[in-house]
Chain A
């Protein structure tokens, strides 16, 4: 089956997500449920004294798109300051998947992003 959306790279992130698991020590915890499907994600952040993200992990159950997105997103914010994370736009998160995502599925892709923005706002 040829799928535009489910490229092998995305499926690979789903099968072996980066940063999946729990942090022993963390300063921030963000949780978000996708009311469409019941998927949920919890992110933990470890910050240094300058509010820079030194480590991040996520847990939860989700569809391939939300897990792949969480994998890519957590990887991308490592080393960033919280101020910079705050400035990330949803379009950037959608773009990171490198595939066109329908409006209905955007919520899945944005689940990890929305979780973090919720506690930062």
Chain B
């Protein structure tokens, strides 16, 4: 479905050999590879119009500002936001979430509750945990169905890794101040029904946050359809460089929130006794932004749009099905998430009985295969599944079925090595 000659041209890193073997990059949930088009866009900034934005009255600065703000428009259209000033550039999803935990804090009262899922990445958990501790809020967890969830046997296949929405409904109440949920698990690959979850939370006037860091590289997102108050993501998991991310927020919230970082660029007027702040989105963009990276993010989105999510999703879905089938054929291998390739990303985490994850990752690296091993920044989820770590193969559109076959073969060899 993809022309791999073109892909190799766009992603020259794929031609690399690791330990004498062709590289297989299966660590996309950690960070994706960067195509030449994105690098060129960033290079153009440094070689053609390197200047600070919104400041200088000179040609370079005007050109830089134009490109920088064009990237904001690209993001706005990409996620279907109503207003361009609802797009705030940050350093990544982590900063977006820390900003929210900090700036929303004054709204919360002691005894109120924050609902999160057990599947959250640490970045969408620790900031809220800190806030809860500081202000006397309570954290409530939407359970994830583990293989050991007793009620699963009654539900039939496909429930592992999904959220227990019955419990979620029970957790919601008048004390609920905020619900924050990942749209896709970075370990299980499961896609969660954020639209429905937001709707349920809104009955209780709770603020809603969606972490789209894992989902946005793979599925189309429309913030108006989800109707969440906030949505965050990072650039570097969706072909963009690292150091740039987005906070989307409904205008009425962003306008009433205090600033996060203060200093240059985010002010309106500064005097000895008092400062007033710039309008949105500059209020949240203090200091010099990563200008080249923002422009790179715009180019990355354009790259994804050129492929089209329909084609991308169909291809990735076939990859997922193939990976589940192949990995599932290995005796002693347990896939952590759903075995059903529908409604899930090509993120397949697993444990191989008797062989520690880090050893598997080291041995795969010797074969040129890059995977993640450990808790993947989701210790709560691993604890729920009764394990301390797992191996994660996370794929993207530049991966192939042949690469999955090579990984399967390597895993069989590792098994043989350990049992010898």
Contact = CB atoms under 8 A, between A and B. Distances in A.
A1 B417 contact: yes
Interface stretch (B321-329, B334-342, B359-367): B359-367
A39 B358 CA distance: 10
Interface of A (DSSP majority class): loop
Given A37-B357, A62-B356, A108-B358, A11 B363 contact: no
B51 to A, nearest CB: 38
Contacts of B362: 5-6, 65, 102, 105
Interface string B383-420: 00000110000000000000000000010011011101
A14 B187 CA distance: 28
B80 interface: no
B363 A63 contact: no
Interface in B367-384: 373-375, 379, 382
Contact of B375 (A1, A37, A102): A37
B187 to A, nearest CB: 14
B388 A1 contact: no
B357 A63 contact: yes
Contacts of A65: 358-359, 362
A4 B363 CA distance: 9
Q: On chain A, which size bracket covers the interface?
A: 10 to 19
B417 A3 contact: yes
Nearest to B416: A1
A108 B413 CA distance: 23
A39 B416 contact: no
B418 A11 contact: yes
Interface string A35-67: 011110000000000000000000001111100
Going nearest first, the 10 A-B pairs with the smallest beta carbon separation are A1-B413, A63-B356, A38-B388, A63-B358, A64-B359, A37-B374, A1-B417, A63-B359, A37-B389, A37-B358
Given A1-B410, A39-B358, A62-B356, 4 more contacts: A3-B363, A37-B374, A63-B358, A108-B358
5 contacts: A3-B417, A8-B420, A37-B357, A39-B356, A63-B357
